[in-house]
Structure formats: C-alpha cells, structure tokens
Amino acid sequence: MQKINKICCIGAGYVGGPTMSVIANKCPDIQVTVVDINADRIAQWNTEDLDQLPIYEPGLKEIVGESRGKNLFFSTEVDKAIDEAQMIFISVNTPTKTYGKGKGQAADLKYVELCARNIAQVATTDKIVVEKSTLPVRTAQAIKSILDNSGSEVNFEILSNPEFLAEGTAIDDLLHADRVLIGGNDTPEGQAAKDALSAVYENWLPKERILQTNVWSSELSKLVANAFLAQRVSSINSISALCEKTDANIAEISRAIGFDSRIGPKFLNASVGFGGSCFQKDILNLVYIARSFGLPEVADYWEQVIIMNDYQKRRFAEQMIQTLYNTISGKKIVLLGWAFKKDTNDTRESAAIYVADALLEERAELVVYDPKVNAERIYADLDYLNTRSPEENRKLLTVATDPMEMVQDAHAVAILTEWDAFKDYDWTAIYDKMLKPAFVFDGRRILGTKQMNDIGFNYYKIGES
C-alpha cells in the first residue's frame, strides 16, 4: 500500500479548511496544501491574526496556529499543489443549480468538473482523487471519465469520502468522528486506494469506525444521512404547530419520544426551521435523482421535508405579524441572530433570511444583530432573494453592533439563532427600553416562558400555545 505523505485539497471553504487543518494536525508526516482560486480567501487563511480566519469554528484557530507553516499550507498555486500531491481532495462548492435542466434541484457540478479538468491537465504522476464535496450519486464516474480521457499516461483512482461534520462543531466532529466513509472500486487498485486513505484517518480514529463501501453507496449515504436528519427536524416542527393549537408541549413530547432508544433524543428540537448549506440542497438532490429514475412517490416523500420547513419559516413570520395587530409597517423589530445556527458565521439558507424577507415585505423596520455575521453578508443574503432593490433593503434594515442599544423603542424582538449569549442578556433591561406592550418571539426555544412572562413580555415560543 502506498504511504501518503503529500495531500492537496482543492477548495478552502467550510469543508476543506477545517478538514485539512485537522488532517495536518493529526498527521505530522503528511504535508497538506489547501489551494483555492479565491486569492482573498487564501490570504485570510494565511492571516497572522488567527481571529481573522475566513471561517469561525470553535477550536479551529488553535489547530491552524499549531500546524500552519509546518505541514499545513494555504496557497493559490493550484497546479503546483496538484502535481506534487499523491492524494487530491476535491472540496469545492456544489450549489443547487440556478439555471437549465434540474434548475432549483440538481447540484451544479460545474466547479467539480473544472477541478477534474484541472487535475487531468497538470498531473504527471498517478493520483488518488477523493470526492469530499457532497455530490449526486454517480459523480465519481463523471470525474473518472474526464480524468481517463486526458490523454496522459497517468492513472487515477477515484474515492468518495463524504464529510459528515456539522458547522459549529466541525473540529470536534472531525476529531471524534462517529464514522468515516470511504467508497471505492472493488479492484486491487481501488482497494489499495481505500486502504491508503484509511491509513490517514487511522492516525487518530479507531479502525472500526472507518467503513469501506462501493462508490455509489458512499455517495448516496451522505444524501440519505442528511435527509434523515432534516426529516427529524421537519417532523418535530410539524408537531410544534399542532402543540400551539392544543395544550400539549413540544419540549415534553421531544423528551418523551426521545427516551425510546429506537428514536433517540438528538435532533428533536423544534425551531423556526433548519438552514445550512447541506440539508435543503441534499434533499433537493435526492428528490431530483429519484424523479429522474422514474420514482415520483419517493421524490414526493422527501420533498415534503422541504415543504414542511418552508411552512415553518412562513408560519413564524405570520405569527409575528398577526400578534403585532396585523400591521408591522414602520414598527421597529429587532432580529437576534442571522447565522443558520449558533457557533458559526455561515448564513447559507438560514431561516433568518426568509423571516426577515417576509417582515420587510410588510414594511417593518428591522434591526439585526448577530455576534459573528457582518452587515455585508446580511445585505448580500437579502439582495440575493431579489424581492426588493438593494437600496430598499438598506433603507428598511439596519445592522447593529451593540445589542443593548438597538432595543430602544422596539416593538418586538425575534430570536432566530440560538447563540448562548442571548440567554444571558439582561432581559429586564431590554424590556424597560422597549415600547409597551413588548413582544418576544422565540424561534429557538432558548428562553424560559415563566421568566419572560414575569418580566412583562408577551412571549411566543415555537411549539407553545
């Protein structure tokens, strides 16, 4: 088996950056070079001030600080890194297609294909190419075909090694992975490649947690894992709507069903809706694949998870409007949180974007605060929806830096991300500054109902009547 001592990763994003930092940190004998065509991003990864890394993840800066410049490098020299490496990870973005066939559902593979062409063009020695980005089933075949038709004598072995890290806990998930999945061909060369990658992970993970499968199972497992997780959130969210109409309590239900060891307690928190770069994209992908294989019942089944999530976001915004006497025009409403969950600066598909959009359509004056998301990102997210002009978005929404100042004369506060800091706020002081009656809409179930009512708030919590 080939011993790997040089790895290249194409794509220095949310997946590539943290994953490679951990590999470098745990495998001092392997030189890891992360490359990206985005020079700004690479400059940020190389920044001296580790608080300015392009991605915020607890524990990341310490790991980058220890390994960078030793065996971990960030560079824009893509061709050089490809040529030098024995193993190349493809970790570029695969957004949902916004044009053509499969628009709105299929994954856009243009960046992956460009990577494959790039590898084919510059490689002069045999390579193991690892798909790290989440990809539709059978992408490995497309990559293989591009690589094999490059006209060179170089041999390429393709592996699928999907990433299961969750943002906000990426480093912990990488260090203590439940499992690592390696999909590859059942040929002797395929087996050798699988073993070579397995040996990299064995530097810090027990061998029994490293599962080897065929390529297609590995690719599909990633989509299915995310679909199952998202389905749990949509399932509990659907019940939260029912609880609001009855005297049942969603927290009690989550707890009661979570005690069943077959169900388990995780991923049963009702919320304003799931977000993130993976859940929606992967389910849409699954739906698209099922439909293209002539399985409409399967496609409809999974699509319902997304429909329920959209309903939950809409329902939350409608609840706010209705409670605020059916008119929020000109009313100051404070949104706490913009990231799709706590401990990350990622806002992709965040529920906050859609709630804000619905409130802005009713001409509310929004003030947004998120401890890790900047104004540029917030405006970019709204502008991307194209519901209003960028000028209007900037007129109606301001981004605050001081959470206490911004509540002055506000009619309502909505909690859209479960940042721990929000729980510790002096809610009595906030109440004093707000217009009365003062409303809090808790989309993350992080505050105590009795405490909020005692202060004097009109308090709405997802899943409580």
Active site residues: 163, 222, 278
Residue with smaller CB distance to ligand ADP, 78 or 430: 78
Indicate which single residue of 57, 163, 370, 464 sits in contact with ligand UDX (rule: CB under 6 A): 163
Amino acid letter, residue 45 = W
In Å, how far are 88, 126, 242, 324, 423 from 147, measured between CA atoms? 13, 11, 53, 59, 52
Q: Which residues ranging from 317 to 376 are in contact with ligand UDX (CB under 6 A)?
A: 340-341
Please state, in angstroms and rounded to a whole number, the distance separating the CA atoms of residues 363 and 358. 9
Give me 174's structure tokens: 């990488």
Q: Of these partners, ligand UDX, ligand ADP, none, which one is at the site of residue 114 (CB under 5 to 8 Å by kind)?
A: ligand ADP
- Return the ∠ at Cα 121 (arms to 76 and 187), rounded to 5°: 110
Residue with smaller CB distance to ligand ADP, 42 or 239: 42
Residue with smaller CB distance to ligand ADP, 231 or 345: 345
Please state, in angstroms and rounded to a whole number, the distance separating the CA atoms of residues 269 and 34. 36
Q: Pick the stretch among 68-76, 113-121, 164-172, 420-428 that binds ligand UDX (CB under 6 A).
A: 164-172
Q: Of these partners, ligand UDX, ligand ADP, none, which one is at the site of residue 301 (CB under 5 to 8 Å by kind)?
A: none
275 binds ligand UDX (CB under 6 A): yes
SS3 for 424-444 is: CCCHHHHHHHCCCCCEEEECC
In Å, how far are 49, 96, 274 from 110, measured between CA atoms? 34, 11, 26
Beta bridge partners of 75: 35
Q: Of these partners, ligand ADP, ligand UDX, none, which one is at the site of residue 229 (CB under 5 to 8 Å by kind)?
A: ligand UDX
229 binds ligand ADP (CB under 6 A): no
Q: Which residues ranging from 391 to 420 are in contact with ligand UDX (CB under 6 A)?
A: none
Query: What mask of x and - would describe binding to ligand ADP in positions 112 to 141, judged by CB under 6 A?
Result: --xx--x--------------x--------
- Return the ∠ at Cα 43 (arms to 39 and 49), rounded to 5°: 165
| Distance linking the first and last C-alpha atoms of the chain | 61
Least separation in angstroms between CB 187 and ligand ADP = 28
Q: Of these partners, ligand ADP, ligand UDX, none, which one is at the site of residue 92 (CB under 5 to 8 Å by kind)?
A: ligand ADP
167 binds ligand UDX (CB under 6 A): yes
13 binds ligand ADP (CB under 6 A): yes
Find the farthest-apart pair of alpha carbons in the chain and give their distance in angstroms, rounded: 75
In Å, how far are 11, 46, 53, 63, 342 from 19, measured between CA atoms? 11, 16, 14, 11, 20
Q: Which residues ranging from 259 to 278 are in contact with ligand ADP (CB under 6 A)?
A: 277
Residues 128/119, Cβ–Cβ less than 8 Å: no
Residue with smaller CB distance to ligand ADP, 134 or 271: 134
Please state, in angstroms and rounded to a whole number, the distance separating the CA atoms of residues 26 and 128. 20
280 binds ligand ADP (CB under 6 A): no
Q: Of these partners, ligand UDX, ligand ADP, none, which one is at the site of residue 370 (CB under 5 to 8 Å by kind)?
A: none
In Å, how far are 163, 351, 439 from 357, measured between CA atoms? 31, 10, 19
Binding stretches for ligand ADP (CB under 6 A) = 10-16, 35-38, 41, 78, 91-93, 111, 114-115, 118, 133, 277
Binding stretches for ligand UDX (CB under 6 A) = 163-167, 226, 229, 233, 267-269, 271, 274-276, 278-279, 340-341
